[in-house]
Homo-oligomer: A and B are copies of this chain.
Amino acid sequence: MSEIRTLALACRDAGPLLAALDTPSKRALLHGMADALHHRVREVLAANERDMQEARNKGLQGAMLDRLRLDEARIAGIAQAVREVAALPDPVGMVTRRETLANGIVVERVRIPLGVVAMIYEARPNVTADAAALCLMAGNAVMLRGGSEAIHSNRAIAAALHEALRAHGLPEAAVTLVEDLRRETMLALLQLSDIIDLAIPRGGEGLIRFVTEHARVPVIKHYKGVCHLYVDRSADLAVALNLLVDGKTSRPGVCNALETLLVHRDVASVFLPRAAAALIERGVVLCGDEATRALVPEARLATEDDYAAEFLDLVIAISVVDSVEQAIAHIRRYGSDHTEVIATNDHSAAQRFVQSLRSAVVMVNASSRFSDGGQLGLGAEIGISTTRLHAYGPMGAESLTIERFVVRGEGQVRHPESRFT
């Protein structure tokens, strides 16, 4: 038996123990984890310094290096996030529906854990604690396969989590860190369809493609966000400008940042010069179609690739459209089903936009930057699903459970004629 299979089986065996924990026990466990992260801050920082040193030696810099870096404040933030997960409503055991049928049987839908979740991610060491906390709160065991850049940090964080598991009489395997980072081992993990109930890849396009193409276990992708703002002819242009500036510039490196601006022709000559000035003032590079460039000479000509791009940077693609229908067609063609925004005061245009697009999050007069589990009331998120199955959009603790049927009767049978009397 392969080593990864042995690890996964031990992880699965922890599942029933986790599924049986009551809410106070899970909360105590997560607070224990946060405490352990606090008092092991030196070890975690030392481990992170090793990762940082190796990363610098490899020539990593800028955003990559920053995502990897931990300091006391960031570790406190990670511990705080674990405490916030502990404060969430416990989804396990939630009765979502209850119905008494004509024959007297009572049919309930009750949430149970998924079982074993495999989290496959890159760079950010905080995911190690975040994902573990959310999975545990939902009663799941978790396999964590992080990136090689963060292996020392991930090990030190996992050691803190394991300390709390032991203190609560639970097996360390409930949170299993995969330390063998060879590609063939990840491949083997993704074949364990009798053990792993769900794989969640979070990271760059390459990682997500690899997982999707090779997995025999169910996968929920957290893919890219090519998010659009469409400024309708009836938009309040001051509102539209705020949505644009917030969406593009408040944090350009995240998946809910705006990448493309679509403007109705009737308001383009008023809106686009003002929008361009505001964006340029904040360091944004513009590209657009001919109609855009006629109004904004600073914009370079946009290519097909620009409209499909997730820039994750201070760059925006712009197009002038003739109607809400044309905006919808553009988004259908180039979008990634993540988040789209319409600025409009026309109720029927808003309805057409919402109903014609099948993106995970559609917003009317609100910033794309709200497309986030914390911002939309889920408390925390394990990611933003772009897979239209099980969970779509921001995915919280509840999405790490499944509804099953619990039926209670008093001896009812389907064919009373077969009754033994």
Q: Which residues does A use to contact B, with CB under 8 Å?
A: 16, 19-20, 99, 101, 105, 107, 112-115, 193, 197-198, 212-213, 216, 218-219, 236, 238-239, 241-247, 249-251, 278, 282, 332, 350, 354-356, 358-367, 369-371, 375-377, 387-390, 392-394, 402-415, 418-420
Q: Is A407 within 8 A of B370, CB to CB?
A: yes
Q: With the chains together, A244 CA to B361 CA distance in Å?
A: 48
Q: Is B394 within 8 A of A361, CB to CB?
A: no
Specify which chain B residues have a CB less than 8 angstroms from the CB of A394 in the assembled complex. 405
Q: Is B243 within 8 A of A413, CB to CB?
A: yes
Q: With the chains together, A115 CA to B317 CA distance in Å?
A: 28
Specify which chain B residues have a CB less than 8 angstroms from the CB of A392 in the assembled complex. 402-404
Closest A-B pairs by Cβ, 7 of them: A366-B409, A246-B413, A239-B411, A369-B414, A390-B390, A250-B415, A361-B405
- Counting chain B CB atoms within 10 Å of each CB, the highest count among A19, A243, A414 belongs to A414
- Listed by A's residue number, 29 A-B pairs whose Cβ atoms lie within 8 Å are A20-B356, A101-B377, A107-B376, A114-B389, A193-B212, A197-B389, A236-B411, A238-B411, A242-B411, A245-B418, A245-B420, A250-B414, A250-B415, A354-B406, A360-B405, A361-B405, A361-B407, A362-B406, A364-B406, A364-B407, A365-B410, A366-B408, A366-B411, A366-B412, A367-B409, A367-B413, A371-B405, A392-B404, A393-B405
Sample of 6 more A-B contacts, CB < 8 Å, known A363-B407, A364-B407: A218-B387, A238-B411, A245-B419, A361-B406, A367-B412, A370-B414
Closest to A278 in B: B420
Q: With the chains together, A377 CA to B376 CA distance in Å?
A: 32
Q: With the chains together, A99 CA to B250 CA distance in Å?
A: 25
Q: If A107-B377, A364-B407 touch, does A358 touch B19 (CB 8 Å cutoff)? A: yes
Oligomeric state, in copies? 2
A-side binding surface: helix, strand, loop or mixed?
mixed
Question: Chain B's nearest CB lies how many Å from the CB of A344?
Answer: 11
Question: Chain B's nearest CB lies how many Å from the CB of A402?
Answer: 5
Question: Chain B's nearest CB lies how many Å from the CB of A157?
Answer: 27
Q: Is B20 within 8 A of A388, CB to CB?
A: no
Q: Is A388 within 8 A of B419, CB to CB?
A: no
Q: Is B364 within 8 A of A388, CB to CB?
A: no
Q: If A246-B415, A389-B389, A414-B246 touch, does A409 touch B365 (CB 8 Å cutoff)? A: yes
Q: Is B213 within 8 A of A405, CB to CB?
A: no
